[in-house]
Amino acid sequence: MGALIEFQEVCKYYYMGDTTVKAADHISMKIERGEFVAIVGQSGSGKSTCMNIIGCLDVPTAGTYLLGGRDVGKMNKNELAEIRNEMLGFIFQQYNLLPRLDLIENVEIPLMYKGVPKAERRKRAQEVLEQVGLGDKLKSKPNELSGGQQQRVSIARALVGKPAVILADEPTGALDSHTSREVLSILQQLHRDGNTVVLITHDNSIAMRAERIIRLEDGQVVYDGDSKSPDALVQAHIPEDEEEEK
Amino acid sequence: MSYFETLTLALRNISGSKMRSFLTMLGIIIGVTAVIVIVGLGNGMENYMRESFASLGSNSLNVIINGRGSARSVSIDDMYEVVAKHSDVLEQISPVASVSGGIKTGNEAHRSTSVTGVSEDYLDMKDFHIAAGRGISYMDIEDRKHVCVIGDFVNDQYYEGHGLGDTVRIRGAKFTIVGILESETEDTYVGNTDDVVFMPYSTASRVNGYGTIYNYNITMHDESQAALAKQVIEDALFEIFADSDAYNVISMTEILDFMTTMLNVVITVLAIIAAISLLVGGVGIMNIMLVSVTERTREIGIRKALGAKESVIMRQFVMEAAVTSALGGTIGILLGYMLSSVATKIIQIALDPMLAVTPSWDSVLMAFGVSAGIGVLFGYLPARKAARLNPIDALRYE
Ligand SMILES: Nc1ncnc2c1ncn2[C@@H]1O[C@H](COP(=O)(O)OP(=O)(O)OP(=O)(O)O)[C@@H](O)[C@H]1O
Ligand SMILES: [Mg+2]
């Protein structure tokens, strides 16, 4: 069986007037089942672009993306929706919970789109909420929770459909260091339980928690290997500070 | 995601912002209310007309002879002959001679009482029944007797129920009351169907001072043959007068049909105007739904990231528009009924106790169907916009 995630010369270009932004520039890589990979890089290096492509939210301009051996580029919108529903679990920086729904209702959404009957949906949503330590807040609304708790809800929502890949884009970006550590240990536990976890961060100390680091710079892979290796932390060059606003 | 779940979700979203939902529905509410009241008013007026005409006899024709443009004339016997000759269509005939001036009982004059000279068949033709005494007889006509039959109202009001055998003065002449009619109506105002006096037509034309009869009432076997009956009589009269201006045959059914058609045209025009406000309401719904799609762009992005297909998002928004609209329709129906009964009360006090605003089930069903349909129609565009949103763009939307 091939790799779970395989990028072959994946490119994503944005055309802004006469300049072309190369958000992903001929990226090739493979992620196997059960790996815990951190994608790191400076702001604007193409991490989110990468994650959107892995998450089937976006399609590459060029190159091939194989998910579980299937070519995502050849899928129609409905198939993409199904793939997102069945194979991918998203954890966003901004949690992205629906404010009007309570925790159970938020967590059961992926199961609802899968067509799981209501009673079973509730049961499974409750199980994962208990797993992330929110078993006593099932009927709360998201805005009644702390940031860390909200992020745990979003982890529960990512888990509930038993996806092949858990994708986390800056999951600790909005959290203080204590709650960040909590969230990270949940992700580490998920990895130990056999899940494939792809974590996106610009923070080296967080990336160190993963087994493997893929470092991006200007849309290109500049390092791909063991997170323990000293090279993983080395930057190819020091970027001209603050190129944030784009 | 089942339709039921989509419906529940739609209801939650609608009740989540009640004020906005209500304002969104307002156009539909007003439109549906207006359609129901207007159609109800039309129905009421039609019923009213039918009832009024039924009491005039929808199975009869009135013939008016004016002799204009012709030197010839038609006798009563001629007219009887016409009816006899066409007995397959026509049934009975009675000359009709109105006597103006009302009646006098003792020293009191009652001008509202209608006095009519008729044949021995007339009471039967008009479905009057004798309560006491007898009707007008052939001999009364032959001999031009000063006898009459009075209506229940006259007997009750002016003779305390003991009019039989008493006398009444009409145009200065004294008439003996030989019969009392059964009551025909619940009405109690003067001039109603029971406030009548009938006498032999021969006597009536003498009392009137002119010898000839100008009006006839002819009944037919079958109400639905009104047009044919009219034609038959007109043909016969044309043969006699050779001029179609000399006579006039009026069919009650024809008049009723004509008036109903006119009324329906007016009502339809009014209903269409009201329906335009439904359309405006639909545009209002579309507007709010578009705003709602923009506001919920992020939610749509999240749902798509979690696996919602375009069709599911589409269904959700269309359902929400349709439910909003149908809810507005339902409120409009309730309001329409309430307004109809209030309007009925006012009309019955101010205008006529017989006239009622009666909404029809057809119009209710149609109003509901149209409003739900408008929701779907005008919800479609915003829903498609929502469904086609690109997931990353939607997720990034602030
Ligand atoms: N929709 C877009 N239109 C134009 N340019 C874009 C778009 N999305 C991303 N880019 C550009 O692509 C490059 C990579 O963006 P990306 O969001 O992947 O960076 P990132 O590594 O996630 O950064 P951050 O750490 O700030 O989130 C940036 O230069 C960005 O300006
Ligand atoms: Mg990013």
Question: For B337-357, how does the pLDDT look when each residue is reduced to its tens digit (9 = 90+)?
Answer: 999 999 999 988 887 777 888
Question: φ and ψ at B391, to 5 degrees?
Answer: -55, -45
Residue A239 in this model has a pLDDT that exceeds 70:
no
% pLDDT > 90, chain A: 72
Per-residue pLDDT band for A246 (boundaries 50, 70, 90) equals very low
Band (pLDDT 50/70/90 cuts) for residue A151 is very high
* Mean pLDDT for the stretch of residues B357-371: 85
Whole-number Å distance between alpha carbons of A40 and A173? 13
Give the integer Cα–Cα distance in Å for A67 and B112.
Answer: 97
User: Tokens 């006259």 sit at which residue?
Assistant: B154
- Can you give the pLDDT at residue A156? 94
Which residues, listed in sequence order, are joined to residue A62 by a DSSP beta bridge?
A11
| Shortest Cα distance, chain B CAs vs residue A56, angstroms | 9
CA B68, B69, B74, B80 torsion: positive or negative?
A: negative
Mean pLDDT of the B261-270 span: 88
Per-domain residue ranges of chain B: 3-53+258-396, 60-251
Are the Cβ atoms of A113 and B307 closer than 8 angstroms? yes
A242: DSSP letter? -
* Stretch B196-213: mean pLDDT: 88
Residues of B in contact with A118 (CB under 8 A): 5
pLDDT score for A234: 64
From B82, B86, B68, B78, select the one nearest B242 (Cα to Cα): B68
Q: Is the pLDDT of residue B187 over 80?
A: no
Q: Does B303 touch chain A (CB under 8 A)?
A: yes
The DSSP secondary-structure symbol of A234 reads: -
Residue A237 has pLDDT above 60, yes or no: no
Higher pLDDT, B226 or A12: A12
CB-ligand 1 contact for A43 (6 Å cutoff): yes
**d(CA A49, ligand 2 centre) in Å:** 7
Ligand 1 contact, A51 CB (< 6 A) = no
Q: Which CATH architecture has domain A5-231?
A: 3-Layer(aba) Sandwich (3.40)
Contacts of B306 in chain A (CB under 8 A): 84-85, 90, 109-110, 113, 157
Distance A44 CA to ligand 2 centre (A): 7
User: Which among A10, A15, A20, A45 is the best mutation to test ligand 1's pocket, defined by most ligand atoms within 8 Å of the CB?
Assistant: A45
| Chain A contact present for B71, CB below 8 A | no
Partner-chain contact A96 B303, CB within 8 Å: no
pLDDT value, residue A243: 46
Amino acid at B304: K
Question: Has residue B137 got a pLDDT over 50?
Answer: yes
- CA triple B161-B164-B168, angle to 5 deg: 95
Among A13, A16, A21, A245, which residue has the most ligand 1 atoms within 8 Å of its CB, making it the best to mutate? Answer: A21
B341 vs A3: CA distance, rounded Å: 74
Given an 8 Å threshold on Cβ–Cβ distance, is A109 in contact with B303? yes
Q: Is B200 exposed, middle or buried (0-12, 13-18, 19+ CB in 10 A)?
A: buried
- How much is the mean pLDDT over chain B? 88
pLDDT at B334: 94
Pick from A198-202, A204-208, B190-194: least confident: B190-194
Strand duo A5-16 + A62-67: pairing? antiparallel
Q: Is A214 in the pocket of ligand 1 (CB under 6 A)?
A: no
| Alpha-carbon distance values, B300 to A101, A150, A216, B308 (Å) | 14, 19, 30, 9
Predicted pLDDT at B29:
92
Distance from C-alpha of A57 to C-alpha of A62, rounded to nearest angstrom:
15
Residues of A in contact with B10 (CB under 8 A): none
Give B372's pLDDT tier (boundaries 50, 70, 90): confident
Secondary structure string (H, E, C) spanning chain B: CCHHHHHHHHHHHHHHCHHHHHHHHHHHHHHHHHHHHHHHHHHHHHHHHHHHHHHHCCCEEEEEECCCCCCCCCCHHHHHHHHHHCCCCEEEEEEEEEECCCEEECCEEECCCEEEEECCCHHHHCCCCEEEECCCCHHHHHCCCCEEEECHHHHHHHHCCCCCCCEEEECCEEEEEEEEECCCCCCCCCCCCCCEEEEEHHHHHHHHCCCCCCEEEEEECCHHHHHHHHHHHHHHHHHHHCCCCCEEEEEHHHHHHHHHHHHHHHHHHHHHHHHHHHHHHHHHHHHHHHHHHHHCHHHHHHHHHCCCCHHHHHHHHHHHHHHHHHHHHHHHHHHHHHHHHHHHHHHHHHCCCCCCCCCCHHHHHHHHHHHHHHHHHHHHHHHHHHHCCCHHHHHHCC
Per-residue burial over B65-83, b if 16 or more Cβ lie within 10 Å, else e, is bebeebeeebebeebbebb
Residue A132 contacts residue A190 (beta carbons within 8 Å): no
CB A179 within 8 Å of CB A95: no
Please report the pLDDT score of residue B189 as a whole number.
73
Residues 314-373 of B with CB under 8 A from A: none
A67-116 pLDDT, tens digit per residue, is: 999 999 999 999 999 999 999 999 998 889 999 899 999 999 999 999 99
Sign of CA dihedral B112, B118, B121, B125: negative
Q: Say how many C-beta atoms besides its own lie within 10 A of residue B380's C-beta.
A: 17
% residues pLDDT > 90 (chain B): 37
The helix or strand, by DSSP H or E, that contains position A51, with its residue range, turns out to be helix A47-54
Confidence category of residue B260, pLDDT binned at 50, 70, 90: confident
Q: Which chain A residues have a beta carbon less than 8 Å from that of B312?
A: 113
Ramachandran area for residue B349 (φ above 0: left; ψ -120 to 50: alpha; else beta):
alpha
Write the residue with the smallest CA distance to atom 30 of ligand 1. A44
Cβ–ligand 1 distance for A142 under 6 Å, the answer no
Name B339's Cβ contacts closer than 8 Å, sequence gap at least 6: B33, B36, B37
Does residue A246 sit in helix, strand or coil?
coil
Mean pLDDT (whole number) for B73-93:
89
For residue B370, the model assigns a pLDDT of: 85
Tokens of B395: 């997720």
Q: Tell me how far the alpha carbon of residue B153 lies from the centroid of ligand 1, in angstroms.
A: 96
Give the per-residue pLDDT at A1: 60
Of residues B50 and A79, more confidently modeled:
A79
- Among chain A residues, the shortest Cα distance to B9 is held by A101
* Interchain proximity A57–B16, CB inside 8 Å: no
Distance CA A226, CA A212 (A): 5
**Residue numbers in B near A90 (CB within 8 A):** 305-306
Dihedral, A40, A26, A46, A228 alpha carbons, nearest 10:
0
Q: How many CB pairs under 8 A join A and B?
A: 59
| Helix (H), strand (E) at residue A201 | strand A196-201
The yes-or-no verdict on residue A244 having pLDDT over 50 is: no
Contact call for B307 and A82, based on CB within 8 A: yes
**pLDDT tier for residue B203 given thresholds of 50, 70 and 90:** very high
Q: Is the ipTM of this complex over 0.95?
A: no
Ligand found nearest the CA of A47 = 1
pLDDT in tens, B4-33: 888 888 898 888 888 989 999 998 999 899
Cα B320 from Cα A92, distance rounded (Å): 28
Q: Examine the pLDDT at A242 and tell me if it is beyond 70.
A: no
Digit-coded pLDDT (tens) for B289-313: 899 889 999 999 999 999 999 999 9
CB-closest option in B16, B308, B391 to A100: B16
| Residue A50 host element (H or E) | helix A47-54
Strand order in the sheet with A62-67: A19-31, A5-16, A62-67, A70-71
**B78-96 mean pLDDT:** 91
Residue nearest to atom 4 of ligand 1 (CA): A14
Helix (H, G, I), strand (E, B) or coil at A119: helix
Min Cα distance B44 → chain A (Å) is 48
**pLDDT band, residue B184 (cuts 50/70/90):** confident
- Give the separation between CA B41 and CA B271, rounded to whole angstroms: 11
- B28: Cβ contacts below 8 Å, ≥ 6 apart: B278, B281, B282, B284, B285, B325, B328, B329, B332, B371, B374, B375
User: Is the minimum distance from the CB of A63 to ligand 1 under 6 angstroms?
Assistant: no
Among A18-22, A112-116, A153-157, B72-76, the range scoring the smallest mean pLDDT is: B72-76
DSSP A84-101: HHHHEEEE-TT----TTS
